[in-house]
Amino acid sequence: MTMKIWDSVVSAHIDLLGKVPSNGRGQWVVTDEQPSIGYMHSGYPIVTHLDMADPNKIYEDCFLLSRDHILNVNNRKGSWGMFHELGHNFQDSMWTWGGTKEVTCNIFTLHAMDVVCNVKPWEHLWVREKFENASNYLREGAKYDNWCSNAGIALLVYAQLARDFGWGTYKSVFRTYDKLPKDKRPSNQQEKENIQDNLSLVFEFWGWPIRGLEDLKRFPPYLPDDVTTREFAKDRATTILKKYEDNSSGACPTQNPAHTDNDYCPSKGGSNKIDQCDVKGNSIKEDDNDNSSSSCSVL
């Protein structure tokens, strides 16, 4: 049952990206006495310390085969580290520019925490623990170099976009990039950051040095309506909104649009059936006679 939960995590990553990045191989995790880099690192295999294979650590929130730990039933951080390293294996340089290598992998972490563990991006403890640092960053003038050097602060903008626009937006962006011919793929930071929606206000609010966005003024402006704009940097947000309100065709979108993603474990063979894992790790099948298994395993 625990391995089926890990299957659902990997399947969630695959679903968000839109493809299997490892030529169909299952993700491989090895526990080792001396990983080559840090406590845990991505790759094939993902390598971590031996304590993650120690069942005596089940109450310390690190045992790999602890169902409650993976599913974050205690509403703490769950298996953030492993979700993060898996996310690195799905990361793409086309939408990961300088300073965000330890950030965009966590888009996959947030997504899996949402659809597998039922913890919404903006509600996750790991994200909320970064609020104080984000508040200080904004009050100190939102210097882009500081944003790039703090993965926790940087992730907040991605969590805001997931919360307000849903995961379908990320899926669309990732698939659009993947379909681009090699000679049309973004080759510099400016092109990677310039998506076709008026996120100019977000860029300016968080201090991103973006230029050449005049053509986006025809789109409705968007700036999150949450603690960052209402409390952390209210004057900054007000100034930016005032700057854009006379140059746009619409108003800011609502803070909480419909969000329809559910827990799932996509099945093999292109079947439309969904083998789900509920928050307690119990398997839920649309058809009890369906013997198909999920598409990837952590070996």
Q: Is residue 21 part of a domain?
A: yes
Dihedral, CA atoms, 151, 171, 114, 43, nearest 10 degrees? -60
The most distant pair of C-alpha atoms in the chain lies apart, rounded to whole Å, by 61
Residue 146 lies in a domain: yes
For 3, the token pair is 């391995």
Residue 91's domain comprises 1-183
* Residues whose CB falls within 8 Å of the CB of residue 275, separated by 6 or more in sequence, listed in order: 4, 264, 265, 266, 267, 283, 284, 285, 290, 292, 293, 294
Determine, yes or no, domain membership for 248. Answer: no
What b/e readout covers 65-91, taking b as 16+ CB neighbours within 10 angstroms? ebbebbbbbeeebbbbbbbbbbbbbbb
> Residues 81, 124: contact at Cβ < 8 Å?
no
Is 165 a domain residue? yes
pLDDT for 59 equals 56
Q: Are strands 29-32 and 46-49 parallel, antiparallel or unpaired?
A: parallel
Domain with 164 in it: what CATH number?
A: 1.10.390.10
* Res 189: pLDDT: 55
HEC profile for 105-171? HHHHHHHHHHHCCCCCHHHCHHHHCCHHHHHHHHHCCCCHHHHHCCHHHHHHHHHHHHHHHCHHHHH
pLDDT of the chain, 299 residues: tens digit per residue: 788 888 999 999 999 999 887 666 788 888 887 776 667 778 788 888 777 777 776 656 567 777 777 787 776 788 888 899 999 999 988 888 888 999 999 999 999 999 999 999 999 999 999 999 999 999 999 999 999 999 999 999 999 999 999 999 999 999 988 888 878 776 655 555 444 568 889 999 999 987 766 777 777 888 999 999 999 999 999 999 988 876 554 444 333 343 333 333 333 233 322 233 322 233 333 333 333 222 232 32
Q: Is residue 219 part of a domain?
A: no
* Residue 78 is assigned to a structural domain of this protein: yes
Number of domains in the chain: 1
Dihedral in degrees, nearest 10, Cα atoms 174, 178, 180, 184: 80
Q: DSSP letters along 233-286, please? A: SHHHHHHHHHHHHTT-SSPPPPSS---------BBSTT---BEEE-TT--EEES
Distance CA 48, CA 31 (A): 5
Answer whether residue 204 is part of any domain.
no
Question: Is 154 inside any structural domain?
Answer: yes
d(CA 232, CA 61) in angstroms, rounded, equals 32
Cis peptide before 45 (omega within 30 of 0): yes
